[in-house]
């Protein structure tokens, strides 16, 4: 690709091809107006390599599935607790006689 001096931008078709996992090798030769070589970065036999990283994974707590599952678990636990509370009979009451009279001498 030939470019004018200054900031170099890549064409949209080039950028569209940079999918995660893509591997790009490149080298740069800077020429003056007469075609003389001013500088080189890399070479055809030893180019620079660029690997396009995949998108980082989304943390578990940021996924909607986590929150739906957690909410369902809370609702299920509340239902089980309510069912156990309703179905269990209270303990039997045992009457314990207590003398409330005052002892006096």
Q: Which is nearest to 52 in space by CA: 24, 85, 87, 93? A: 24
Q: Strand, helix or coil at 12?
A: helix
Other CB atoms within a 10 A radius of the CB of residue 18 amount to 12
Q: Strand, helix or coil at 48?
A: strand
pLDDT at 6: 72
pLDDT at 103: 65
When comparing pLDDT for 40 and 20, which is higher? 40
Q: Strands of 1-105 (E only): list them.
A: 23-26, 28-31, 37-41, 48-51
How far from 89 is each of 78, 81, 84, CA to CA, in Å?
A: 19, 14, 10
- pLDDT tens digits, one per residue of 51-78: 887 777 888 888 999 999 999 999 999 9
Give me Rg for the CA atoms of the chain: 39
């Amino acid at each position: 690709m030939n470019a004018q001096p200054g900031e170099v931008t890549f064409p949209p078709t080039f950028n569209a091809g940079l999918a995660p996992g893509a591997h790009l090798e490149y080298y740069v030769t800077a020429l003056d107006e007469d075609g003389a070589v001013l500088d080189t970065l890399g070479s055809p036999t030893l180019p620079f390599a660029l690997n396009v990283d995949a998108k980082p994974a989304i943390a578990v707590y940021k996924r909607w599935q986590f929150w739906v599952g957690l909410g369902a678990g809370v609702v299920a636990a509340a239902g089980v607790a309510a069912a156990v509370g309703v179905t269990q009979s209270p303990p039997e009451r045992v009457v314990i006689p207590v003398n409330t009279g005052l002892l006096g001498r």
